[in-house]
Amino acid sequence: MMKQLKFYIVTIGPLLAFIAFFLIQGKTLVPSTFVSEVKNANAGGGSVMESFKHPLTIILMQILVVLGTAKFIGYLFTRIGQQSVIGEIVAGIVLGPSLLGLLFPDAYHFLFPVSLMSNLNLVSQVGLVLFMFIIGMELDLDKLKNRVGEAIVISHLSIVFPFLLGVMLAYFLYSTYAPANIPFIAYSLFIGIAMSITAFPVLARILKERNMTQTPVGSMAIICAAIDDVTAWCILAVIIAIAKAGNVSGALLTIAFTVIYVLIMFFAGKPLLRKLSDKYFQNDTLQAPFIATIFMTLIFSAFVAEVIGIHALFGAFLAGVIMPANLSLRKLFTERVEDVSIMLLLPLFFAFTGLRTQIGLLNNSNLWLICGAIIGLAVVGKFMGGALAAKLVGLSWKDGLSIGALMNTRGLMELIVLNIGYDLGILRPEIFTMFVLMALTTTFLTAPVLNFIEKFYARKEASEMSKNKGIAV
């Protein structure tokens, strides 16, 4: 021990002495006239407070606050039998101007300064791109072949009926609540698709938690929701093209490019990815070259879709759909991406949506009546459309009503559509807020309605059984 200590003193001591010597001598030196762009550490009266104004510090602080709030409120919602995702959406509203901005405006503006909101938006958009890629990968096209006829009827009727109600609603809203530069066709089509969407991921979570994934109703609902998502996103791509062009004829070029792009992805991209997976995905192990290829495909597809004018999210979704059909590959890659996307980045999207949701704008009874009409038409359109279609293809009323309740789930997918509409300038802030409240209400209703249907038919079956026993006696 003494030997090491002596060696330490002999070697380190002189070096430290030389460092001290040059530091002392350097105090007498005079710098050149060149002015550095780096600010003096002592300028501004305190480096700690200055660091809180740095964009990186702010975005990290926002992530911490958003994640903590989202997980806490999400946990509270699970305690009352709801999906945690509903609590995460509510957390975004709590952190926005509707609550935090109203009660603690200084804290709200400190945490979410207007000048840096674009940073939060960009990070949340990356999370959405990854999420839509996962949704695309989770679609099993082979399963869609089974009972596809029944599922298409249910899915498309549950789209067309609420779409009609949405277009009718837009007819009455347009003159007063549409932005001046948005044509009626773009406005009405967008309101229609906003009324028609189903949240495939939230529906899947509900079925899984209720152990319904392998039941006839559950499997049919999953297939219907998958077809619903594919159809709705294709319609949305066309609507975005029309909204950006201003009219149908102006959007034809965009639609033509979209068709070419989709065909290339399916007939060139998909076979190439399948060959690469055969080469690089062996023994359930993802090799680095193939991982890089998957991410490049995702980014390229999102980039092309954005350039064409149909939004990067459609491109991410399509990239997921064309991934090799190997279920173990999809499952393994999804698990890698899902944690970052769903656990970290999606709550930021909820928070950003909450920052846009200004419930205070609904400041009179007329606006609240319109909000109630939106919620009522959304429930009637999706619930009754799905239930009646299921009955028409031969399902029982119990199964039909259950499918209607499940198809009425909107959740995250609705928020994505609404934010696209907001960014395109189609939705004014007050209408955006009404539709966010509609998304929350319809998603919140799913579990209680399913419970009511199950209890109602359980009592009905028990009553019939007791009557039959009485007759037998």
Distance (Å, whole) CA 208 – CA 74: 17
Distance (Å, whole) CA 197 – CA 408: 8
pLDDT, mean of residues 346-351 = 83
Query: Percentage of the chain surpassing pLDDT 70?
Result: 90
Q: Residue 106: in which H helix or E strand, if any?
A: helix 105-111
Q: Is the residue at 138 inside a domain?
A: yes
Q: Is the residue at 153 inside a domain?
A: yes
- Give pLDDT, residue 32: 66
Q: What is the mean pLDDT of the chain?
A: 83
- Give pLDDT, residue 35: 58
pLDDT, mean of residues 317-329 = 83
- pLDDT-derived band of residue 224, with 50, 70 and 90 as boundaries? confident
Structure-token pair, residue 72: 């806490």
Distance (Å, whole) CA 271 – CA 266: 8
Q: Is the residue at 334 inside a domain?
A: yes
Q: 211 phi and psi, to 5 degrees? A: 55, 45
Distance (Å, whole) CA 324 – CA 277: 7
Distance (Å, whole) CA 203 – CA 214: 14
Contact (CB, 8 A) for 359 and 92? no
Q: Is the residue at 294 inside a domain?
A: yes
Q: Is the residue at 127 inside a domain?
A: yes
Domain that holds residue 330: 68-457
Distance (Å, whole) CA 458 – CA 418: 38
How many residues appear in the chain?
Answer: 473
Q: Is the residue at 63 inside a domain?
A: no
Please count the structural domains in the chain.
1
pLDDT tens-place string over residues 356-410:
888 988 989 999 999 999 999 999 999 988 888 888 888 888 888 999 998 888 8
Distance (Å, whole) CA 412 – CA 70: 14
- Give pLDDT, residue 53: 73
Q: Is the residue at 353 inside a domain?
A: yes
pLDDT, mean of residues 436-451 = 90
pLDDT tens-place string over residues 135-174:
888 776 666 566 667 788 888 888 899 999 999 999 999 9
What CATH number does the domain containing 377 carry?
1.20.1530.20
Q: Is the residue at 44 inside a domain?
A: no
What's the N-to-C CA distance of the chain in angstroms? Answer: 98
